[in-house]
Amino acid sequence: MTKRKWTQTEISSYKKKNGQYFYYNKEDSNIFILRESGLGFSLNWASPWSWILVICIITFAVLIYFWIK
């Protein structure tokens, strides 16, 4: 199973088939997925880079909170 970047039409059909709330596709190497409405991005939760990004943002927010306090 090789990872490759999926096109927007492939992502749309995958979302329709498997649900639209969370995008979790192990075969897709995209980290950010364009939303259907065109307003913003979503994360591919199967990508380890998306988890690293979320952990970094939360860690940064916690550090700032305790630094200011």
State the DSSP H helix or E strand holding residue 68, giving kind and residue range, or none if neither: helix 48-68
Domain range holding 54? 8-68
Segment 2-11 shows an average pLDDT of 84
Does residue 2 lie within any of the structural domains? no
What six digits make up the tokens of 66? 């305790």
**What whole-number distance in Å separates Cα of residue 3 and Cα of residue 47?**
10
Higher pLDDT, 1 or 16: 16
- Give the pLDDT band (50/70/90) at residue 1: low
Tally of structural domains, the chain: 1
What six digits make up the tokens of 69? 């306090």
Does residue 34 lie within any of the structural domains? yes
Q: Give 8-65 pLDDT, tens digit per residue.
A: 888 888 888 887 788 888 888 899 988 877 788 889 999 999 999 999 999 999 999 9
In the DSSP assignment, the letter for residue 22 is S
Does residue 1 lie within any of the structural domains? no
What six digits make up the tokens of 54? 């979320």
